[in-house]
Structure 1
Amino acid sequence: MRVFAVSHKTVFVVDHCPYMAESSRQQVECDVLTKSRAQGVIPLAPISKSLWTCAVECSMEYCRILYDIYPRDKLVSLSHSVNYIVSDSEFHILNSWRQEDQSTHELMSALAAVGPPNPREDPECCSILHGLVAAVESLCKITELQHEKRTTLMDTAERVSNRGRIICLTNAKSDTHVRMLEDCIQETILEQNKLAAGSDRLMAIQQCELVLVHIYPQGEDTLVSDRPKKEISPLLTSEVHSVRAGRHLATKLNILVQQHFDLASTTITNIPMKEEQHANTSANYDVELLHHRDAHLEFFKSGQWVYLHMAGTSTRENGLKETVTLKWCTPRTNSVELHYCTGAYRISPTDVNSRPSSCLTNFLLNGRSVLLEQPRKSGSKVISHMLSSHGGEIFLHVLNSNRSTLEDPPSISEGCGGRVTDYRITDFGEFMKENRLTPVSESAHDPSGKFPAERAKAQLERHTRYWPMIISQTTIFNMQAVVPLANLIVKETLTEEDVLTCQKTVYNLVDMERKNDPLPISTVGSRGKGPKRDEQYRIMWNELETLVKTHAGASDRHQRVLDCIVACRSKPPEEEERKKRGRKREEREDRTEKNGSKDTDDKSWQDSERLKGLLDKEDQEAEVIKDSPDSPEPLNKKPRLSTEEAQPPERAKGPVSLLSMWTNRITTANSRKHQEFIGRMSSVNDKFELYQHLKDENGMDVHENGKATR
């Protein structure tokens, strides 16, 4: 079906009944020259517009923006037409769907002929229903573009769709009155579709959107509730907006035209402009422009939005309006210079009659171009757009702020995220070799019924479920020990041999962790030596589990590989305790390395104090063991005669050298490892008497030199 958007046809139905002549109660000052007014001159009283005037002005602004951005006889494929209808005691169709009738000049001339509502007319004879019925009939009429498509597709002319939108500006009585209007439109659509079924000049309506805008004076409470878009039937959807007349209605129609025709807003800030009264001074102004939404496609992707609060509006009436802020750059270019643009979109000022908008448009129509930059708090400025005129029309050009395709091809190390130098280029080359496409007949498909193209797409999807692009972002793909598992797990089916190979790979990793082998963990962006050894293996196991999980649902054998990994990761308590001790030892080593820059004297003093504490502790333990009645003294332990004899002499003289302390400790420890020589224990004046029992046996005294005397 040749689908035409709902925005292809828009019917305005404006209420012309007597109650629309009521004042909007928004004061408009006519005498603004208060300072230069002469004395005695009475100032002009403020006036207020009627509801009818507010409705006509806002609807004309709607049409003006539409015609500025989508002019007639241009971009026919995006043609949008407006049909204007006025309803009182009968309906008045002010224009048709023809392209020559699509202009604000034609509509304003027709509205001038209609004139304002007559407040003395009988309200019982007037109704908005006349205009709504005429609007449905107008939607069934064929536009020029629809006629062209129907003529092109003579055999399938019924496949050309017909959709449209009705915008009704009225003063409704209540919510019940609104539901009655919706029911009337629904019945009229069904009747007109029956008539269009037997006619070549009419088309049945496939979809109709009703946008009912209830207008009420300022200072009064609304009798109609707002309601979002609601589906009344498969052919009709309806939404209700209750808006106060005046600037609130203008803001609402401005928002609706953006929603209906896929437009966006841009606010040009810091525009230097000379003051009218003081020619030597200048001030900065802001101008809001409307254009197609594609001009800000990059902003929408990145979420760079600025929300402006329109003056005099409330949040309930959609006073918050979305706009992208761009900063004025001092113009240093003209139309002769060429810029690399990725798109050009017509613009329409929101407030076309304001002095800043008029000065900006005149400046651009004189052949000047204005560069626009993104406001940034830091860094170099980025020029993203340009305003320039062509053929009497102003366009917003989108400049390529990234690398141009006309320049030299970028290096592979320059990606979107910045300069990256560790891409897995070699692995990507192997990946391309494994996924090359070759010509094959469609009939050569496997028994499962998949065609070769489907199998190729499925294989490519499996291989890319988890494939890090940067070396520093992966661990397992940098390990030769994981290659067998990584190559097998991406297969659609696994054999028992494949499962055993994967399990063997997992066991090898467990053995590496038990041996505390180092892993190829990247230290890019981290301080020091990187994560600890346990943290390295935790990262490796997490990544390996992530890889296998993406393929675990393929078959039961894939799940067995995942179960093996999970089982190997759950360590027994004694293994965890050993890991804790290893972490503590590494922490002590790190602390020792950190403190290695201290003075040597301080380190020697600390070691001396530590050795003193160890010696004191050993002495205390020895005393406890000796004095305990339940603990017999070992045979190979040197008897201690007194505390003074056991304590080295150097211990009582204050601080000693580290070598002396260590020598005393070694001597004391070695003396306890053998039984003391009994002669040393019986010596008198460091002399041991030989042949002690000879005198007792022979009755002789033994003297020195071995001679005996009686």
Structure 2
Amino acid sequence: MLFPDREALPSQGFHQICKMKMFSVAHKTVFVVDHCPYMAESSRQQVECDVLTKSRAQGVIPLAPVSKSLWTCAVECSMEYCRILYDVYPKDKLVNYIVSDSEFHILNSWRREDQSTHELMSALAAVGPPNPREDPECCSILHGLVAAVESLCKITELQHEKRIALMDTADRVANRGRIICLTNAKSDTHVRMLEDCIQETIIEQNKLAAGSDRLMAIQQCELVLVHIYPQGEDTLVSDRPKKEISPLLTSEVHSVRAGRHLATKLNILVQQHFDLASTTITNIPMKPTLNVCEQEEQHANTSANYDVELLHHRDAHLEFFKSGDLHMAGTSTRENGLKETVTLKWCTPRTNSIELHYCTGAYRISPTDVNSRPSSCLTNFLLNGRSVLLEQPRKSGSKVISHMLSSHGGEIFLHVLNSNRSTLEDPPSISEGCGGRVTDYRITDFGEFMRENRLTPVSESSHDPSGKLPAERAKAQLERHTRYWPMIISQTTIFNMQAVVPLANLIVKETLTDEDVLTCQKTVYNLVDMERKNDPLPISTVGSRGKGPKRDEQYRIMWNELETLVKTHAGATDRHQRVLDCIIACRSKPPEEEDRKKRGRKREEREDRTEKNGSKETDDKSWQDSERLKGLMDKDEQESEVIKDSPDSPEPLNKKPRLTSEEIQPPERTKGPVSLLTMWSNRITAVNSRKHQEFFGRASSVNSKFELYQHLKDENGMDVHENGKATR
């Protein structure tokens, strides 16, 4: 097994190797919250305190609504950010909280015991709200930003452990972090001034850290500046996406209204910063099914379904992303339109808690709205030792259970269940195919492919003049052989043709000789000759009706696949390109060739119709001819009956006595089938013979002479001479 290089490794595997050397930006997060007097201004989002309007006694004055200050909104939203972070990453993601007014106040350190919302809330309670009577000139957010840069230079416990483990290469331990600043900026110019101040501070601190063992230089810093302004006012600061200020600093600006808009923005930022995803659990029965909420005891006869949104690491949806079935899992966009949530349906929990499920991953979860009653009921239900299976909502098909919620050691995890074949089971036979459906794998060709790419022990010193090691040459050869290699017989045509074998074996070579190019060109010419002769191709008819595609369509498929194979190697050398040019030149046919193809296509269609209806036409031909002749005879009989005045009336002069069917039928009728032409000729002769009275002299002449006007003298008393003149 060759050790893979960085390009060949998946991103996840490469980061696992580099985890011992560097830390991501998400390792350190510094919150800088503005504590200046203008932060005491009202957010102008009213909060109703008196919600019991129906049960209020008469004469009681309702409580007036209140509104939170900008400071309160900033603290609540930042604490929610920290809560989600601590729920999902309780150890390796750290937060340092700084308050800035006339000076900076560091509320906690990078130590693990200080990383909790309880510690931060206690410290914030000691700080108190901003003093609106304080001199604004003495207060500035710059004090907190300078302290934030200094805090990023401090070494955390995890960084210290890695530096000790890499004593000789301690400089490989990177130091990166993020600063989130919540303030009320004056203008875009004020924002640029803050960015310049941070940039200068980073340069100064890196100089100090270069000569100190207790500090680390900053390799990368991300500044996220959130401008907060009251509702109903116009913002003085414009939004700006992430921008690189210098190789050490990147900055982005968000202008957000205070209140629920600020909470939504920080919820989105925490997902972006820590690679989180959202899952919404739907159809959660609250009461009486679960029996977890005391509030539902009053409504025991009713039951309602609720939805709870959970945040977790995005790897819990990795199978959806890989398979492309994210839309089948009920993906929907939330109101903010920037983040999506995957909807999973609640399944009735099983009572057997000992039952084990095959899981491929377990990820900590954090409710989005932790104080809501549905979230509280769900978390209490899970912390009591119950497990909940989650299924993908589908419009049709069988139920697919993909996830499970369960608690371990007082923490709730979202488990990813394997919905495919388990790796713990016996592997399927290759003759069965994947899932028992695909059975026409190229097993013989794959065995030949393995023999051609076997690795054998070889000395490192034995390498070709190009300077490549044997392992590199082996990987390069494997890459060339697998650029185009269909796995299923029904998905390829050229690899099922013996005539294409010489070209397929030569085109994968790293270099071609002139003899190789000539062999490939001969192969192409042979294919052209096969197409000219209209030879059949081994086209698979699996999944198609009838005989499959027409002959010209078969060759079109073959040429397309051959061109695809050669194109994958055409850029290697000029000789590879010559093979491709030969194929392209042979595919372009002259107009007379296209006409010949059209004629051949019509001939094939006629042959297909003949093969399909041949037996039926043979059986019905004689019956159709007989019926047609019988109809003609009946028609003639009806005409003769119409002409007659009575049964005793003589035949008219211009009507010959009707011929019988025996007279019409030729003598060959008794010997075998009669052709339609013979029957039609006999019928025409019979019809023409009845159109006039037969010339009497044709049958009564003597010595081919017949006397004209025999009865004229007797009837009129005149003599008739030969010149036709009559005399008395």
For the criterion TM > 0.5, the same-fold answer is yes
Partners of 1:173 and 1:223 within 8 A in 2: yes
Residue 58 of structure 1 and its aligned partner are, at CA, apart by: 0.7
Q: Helix, strand or coil: the match of 2:52?
A: coil
Cα RMSD after superposing both structures: 9.2
Residue 335 of structure 1 and its aligned partner are, at CA, apart by: 3.4
Distance 1:364 1:650, change over 3 A: same
Identify which range, 616-625 or 227-236, moves more after superposition.
Answer: 616-625
Residue 51 of structure 1 pairs with residue 70 of structure 2: yes
Deviation track 1:481-505 (CA, whole Å, cap 9, x = no partner) reads 2222222222233334433433333
Partners of 2:328 and 2:394 within 8 A in 1: no
Measured in 2, the distance between the counterparts of 1:19 and 1:596 equals 96
2:302 to 260, 281, 295: 281
Q: Helix, strand or coil: the match of 2:299?
A: coil
Deviation track 1:273-295 (CA, whole Å, cap 9, x = no partner) reads 12464221111111011111211
Deviation track 1:306-343 (CA, whole Å, cap 9, x = no partner) reads xx999999999945431111111110154311111111
Partners of 2:332 and 2:341 within 8 A in 1: no
Partners of 1:367 and 1:388 within 8 A in 2: yes
Distance 1:317 1:38, change over 3 A: closer
Residue 706 of structure 1 and its aligned partner are, at CA, apart by: 36
Partners of 1:636 and 1:674 within 8 A in 2: yes
Distance 1:503 1:315, change over 3 A: closer
Residue 556 of structure 1 and its aligned partner are, at CA, apart by: 3.7
Paired residues for 1:418-567 under 5 Å:
419-567=437-585
Measured in 1, the distance between the counterparts of 2:334 and 2:716 equals 133
Residue 150 of structure 1 and its aligned partner are, at CA, apart by: 2.5
Distance 1:415 1:675, change over 3 A: farther
Paired residues for 1:396-435 under 5 Å:
396-412=414-430, 419-435=437-453
Partners of 2:87 and 2:364 within 8 A in 1: yes
Measured in 2, the distance between the counterparts of 1:633 and 1:457 equals 104
Partners of 1:519 and 1:536 within 8 A in 2: yes
Measured in 2, the distance between the counterparts of 1:345 and 1:594 equals 63
Identify which range, 553-562 or 470-479, moves more after superposition.
Answer: 553-562
Residue 514 of structure 1 and its aligned partner are, at CA, apart by: 2.8
Identify which range, 233-242 or 35-44, moves more after superposition.
Answer: 35-44
Deviation track 1:325-377 (CA, whole Å, cap 9, x = no partner) reads 11111101543111111111111111111000000000000000000111111
Distance 1:338 1:653, change over 3 A: closer
Residue 511 of structure 1 and its aligned partner are, at CA, apart by: 2.9
Identify which range, 62-71 or 682-691, moves more after superposition.
Answer: 682-691
Residue 37 of structure 1 and its aligned partner are, at CA, apart by: 1.6
Distance 1:41 1:452, change over 3 A: same
Residue 411 of structure 1 and its aligned partner are, at CA, apart by: 2.8
Residue 639 of structure 1 and its aligned partner are, at CA, apart by: 29
Partners of 1:310 and 1:319 within 8 A in 2: no
Partners of 1:309 and 1:319 within 8 A in 2: no
Deviation track 1:509-535 (CA, whole Å, cap 9, x = no partner) reads 233223322211111111111111121
Partners of 2:493 and 2:561 within 8 A in 1: yes
Residue 238 of structure 1 and its aligned partner are, at CA, apart by: 0.8
Measured in 2, the distance between the counterparts of 1:554 and 1:688 equals 102
Residue 211 of structure 1 and its aligned partner are, at CA, apart by: 0.7
Measured in 2, the distance between the counterparts of 1:437 and 1:358 equals 59
Distance 1:649 1:401, change over 3 A: closer
Partners of 1:21 and 1:50 within 8 A in 2: yes
Residue 630 of structure 1 and its aligned partner are, at CA, apart by: 54
Deviation track 1:30-61 (CA, whole Å, cap 9, x = no partner) reads 11111222222221111111111111111111
Partners of 2:35 and 2:99 within 8 A in 1: yes
Distance 1:677 1:420, change over 3 A: farther
Partners of 2:328 and 2:392 within 8 A in 1: no
Distance 1:220 1:622, change over 3 A: farther
Distance 1:622 1:440, change over 3 A: farther
Identify which range, 204-213 or 316-325, moves more after superposition.
Answer: 316-325
Gaps of 5+ in 2: 1-19, 288-295
Distance 1:586 1:699, change over 3 A: farther
Distance 1:176 1:633, change over 3 A: farther
Deviation track 1:73-119 (CA, whole Å, cap 9, x = no partner) reads 8999xxxxxx1111111111111111111111111111111111111
Residue 112 of structure 1 pairs with residue 131 of structure 2: no
Distance 1:432 1:43, change over 3 A: same
Identify which range, 583-592 or 402-411, moves more after superposition.
Answer: 583-592
Counting aligned pairs with the same residue, the percent is 95
Partners of 1:268 and 1:327 within 8 A in 2: yes
Q: Helix, strand or coil: the match of 2:649?
A: coil
Measured in 2, the distance between the counterparts of 1:292 and 1:584 equals 62
Identify which range, 147-156 or 212-221, moves more after superposition.
Answer: 147-156
Q: Helix, strand or coil: the match of 2:339?
A: strand
Partners of 1:268 and 1:288 within 8 A in 2: yes
Measured in 2, the distance between the counterparts of 1:591 and 1:48 equals 84
Distance 1:697 1:309, change over 3 A: closer
Distance 1:667 1:178, change over 3 A: same
Deviation track 1:244-267 (CA, whole Å, cap 9, x = no partner) reads 111111111111111111111111
Deviation track 1:618-664 (CA, whole Å, cap 9, x = no partner) reads 99999999999999999999999999999999999999972633777
Distance 1:674 1:528, change over 3 A: farther
Which residue does 2:189 correspond to in 1? Answer: 176
Q: Helix, strand or coil: the match of 2:297?
A: coil
Distance 1:598 1:652, change over 3 A: closer
Residue 192 of structure 1 and its aligned partner are, at CA, apart by: 1.7
Distance 1:345 1:606, change over 3 A: same
Measured in 2, the distance between the counterparts of 1:104 and 1:249 equals 19
Residue 567 of structure 1 and its aligned partner are, at CA, apart by: 3.5
Identify which range, 516-525 or 348-357, moves more after superposition.
Answer: 516-525
Partners of 1:309 and 1:321 within 8 A in 2: no
Distance 1:684 1:622, change over 3 A: farther
Deviation track 1:156-183 (CA, whole Å, cap 9, x = no partner) reads 3333221111111111111111111111
Distance 1:13 1:516, change over 3 A: same
Measured in 2, the distance between the counterparts of 1:354 and 1:381 equals 30
Measured in 1, the distance between the counterparts of 2:642 and 2:463 equals 88
Q: How many residues align?
A: 700
Partners of 1:248 and 1:312 within 8 A in 2: no
Which residue does 2:47 correspond to in 1? Answer: 28
Q: Helix, strand or coil: the match of 1:654?
A: coil
Identify which range, 162-171 or 646-655, moves more after superposition.
Answer: 646-655
Residue 563 of structure 1 and its aligned partner are, at CA, apart by: 3.5
Deviation track 1:449-470 (CA, whole Å, cap 9, x = no partner) reads 3222222222222222221111
Distance 1:13 1:616, change over 3 A: farther
Distance 1:333 1:298, change over 3 A: farther
Residue 436 of structure 1 and its aligned partner are, at CA, apart by: 0.8
Distance 1:125 1:327, change over 3 A: same
Distance 1:458 1:203, change over 3 A: closer
2:110 to 80, 90, 97: 97
Residue 151 of structure 1 and its aligned partner are, at CA, apart by: 2.8
Measured in 2, the distance between the counterparts of 1:519 and 1:234 equals 61
Partners of 1:225 and 1:241 within 8 A in 2: yes
